[in-house]
């Protein structure tokens, strides 16, 4: 592992207008840049052509987390002041770790109200990184109340309002708990997944609930000083078996997104055997990391100097990745959550 890795080593210039503000009408019509991790060779395609890069016996690992409408807009009881609460992680039945704005006005003991009192909350305590533990009070089922009052927590660089909530969900989203979508999976349609399956490619579904820490910038110039956020993951016995059988038979493991990658790498032992189970992971993957499970990665184009860009660089080499990003900017690819995709093979 390197003794020092500079944040500035992962900088690239991104024109603002290349940040995608809206999802495409057809998920699979995104563009696809294919990067050979060994040679740095690149080619340009449409996402629906991705099946040609897989072989019978390969395996796709997909994160089936479901984004919850985690953004709540309300007011502080007594003052009527505006408040915004982002649900990050469920701690117990009615207690959540949250990001609250304005934080200074929401000290422990503060009472909040949403939807004219349909949902109420009390700030219990301040925890790591200034987040707040909040206890909610409501009648009925929390998820149903949230479905009515909550908004999709789109990343800060998306300023357009999302017309259709489902466009910030993958077609295979199943288990609720994410504050952000595993965006590499947004390009898949059910038809495309069927087509890939018919080719003899297996699928393994894992779960990692994505936290907003995904968007947290690296502040330290020495990357190794960065404190990685933790996220809950779960790997079923079935998923572990499919991945382990694929590897034993000489097939390749393609992770759909950095979240799937972090899940399997967290759940694997040093020999690369994936074990079923659940837990919290704060695995930080950067150049120098030796991958235990995955061979290839499907991913979107990430922010300059981000931990996500560092993960992709760990797989394909920093020079190769930055050259691919320069090419993507030149070719006017769309960047970030609703943007185009890259396949590293």
Q: Kindly state the tokens that stand for 95.
A: 């207690």
The two beta strands, 175-178 and 65-67, are parallel
Distance (Å, whole) CA 318 – CA 286: 10
Q: Helix/strand/coil (H, E, C) string of 274-302?
A: ECCEEEEECCCCCCCCCCCCCCEEEEECC
CA-to-CA dists, residue 94 to 73, 124, 254, 275, angstroms: 18, 12, 37, 31
| pLDDT at site 215 | 64
Distance (Å, whole) CA 65 – CA 278: 14
Distance (Å, whole) CA 169 – CA 186: 7
| pLDDT at site 310 | 96
| pLDDT at site 3 | 59
| pLDDT at site 214 | 66
H-helix segments, 68-189? 142-149
In order along its 345 residues, the chain shows pLDDT tens digits of: 455 799 999 999 999 999 999 999 999 999 999 999 999 999 999 999 999 999 999 999 999 999 999 999 999 998 889 999 999 888 898 999 999 998 888 999 999 999 999 999 999 999 977 899 999 999 999 999 999 999 988 888 888 888 898 999 999 999 999 989 999 999 999 999 999 999 999 999 999 999 877 667 788 899 888 888 889 999 999 999 999 999 999 999 999 999 999 999 999 999 999 999 999 999 999 999 999 999 999 999 999 999 999 999 999 999 999 999 999 999 999 999 999 999 999
220 in Cβ contact with 271 (< 8 Å): no
| Neighbour count for residue 335 (Cβ, 10 Å) | 23
CA dihedral of residues 15, 21, 24, 30 (deg, nearest 10): 30
């Amino acid at each position: 592992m390197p003794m020092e890795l500079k944040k500035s080593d992962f900088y690239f210039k991104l024109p603002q207008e290349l940040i995608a503000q809206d999802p495409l009408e057809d998920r699979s019509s995104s563009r696809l840049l294919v990067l050979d991790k060994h040679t740095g060779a690149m080619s340009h395609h449409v996402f629906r052509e991705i099946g040609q890069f897989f072989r019978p016996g390969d395996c796709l690992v997909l994160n089936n987390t479901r984004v919850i409408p985690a953004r709540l807009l309300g007011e502080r009881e007594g003052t009527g002041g505006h408040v915004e609460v982002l649900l990050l992680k469920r701690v117990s039945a009615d207690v959540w770790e949250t990001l609250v704005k304005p934080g200074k006005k929401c000290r422990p003991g503060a009472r909040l109200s949403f939807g004219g009192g349909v949902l109420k909350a009390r700030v219990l305590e301040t925890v790591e990184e200034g987040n707040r533990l909040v206890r909610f009070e409501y009648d009925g089922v929390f998820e149903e109340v949230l479905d009515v009052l909550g908004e999709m927590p789109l990343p800060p660089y998306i300023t357009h309002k999302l017309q259709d909530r489902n466009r910030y969900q993958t077609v295979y989203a199943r288990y609720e708990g994410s504050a952000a979508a595993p965006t590499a999976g947004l390009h898949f349609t059910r038809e495309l997944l069927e087509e890939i399956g018919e080719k003899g490619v297996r699928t393994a579904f894992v779960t990692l609930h994505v936290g907003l820490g995904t968007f947290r910038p690296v502040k330290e110039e020495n990357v190794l000083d960065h404190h990685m956020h933790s996220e809950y993951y779960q790997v079923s016995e079935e998923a572990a078996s499919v991945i382990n059988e694929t590897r034993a038979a000489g097939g390749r493991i393609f992770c759909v997104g950095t979240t799937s990658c972090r899940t399997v790498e967290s759940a694997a032992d040093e020999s690369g055997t994936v074990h079923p189970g659940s837990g919290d992971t704060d695995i930080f993957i950067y150049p120098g990391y030796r991958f235990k499970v995955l061979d290839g990665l499907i991913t979107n184009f990430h922010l300059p100097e981000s931990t996500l860009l560092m993960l992709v660089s760990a797989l394909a080499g920093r020079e190769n990745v930055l050259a691919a990003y320069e090419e993507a900017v030149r070719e006017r690819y769309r960047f970030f959550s609703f943007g185009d995709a890259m396949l590293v093979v």
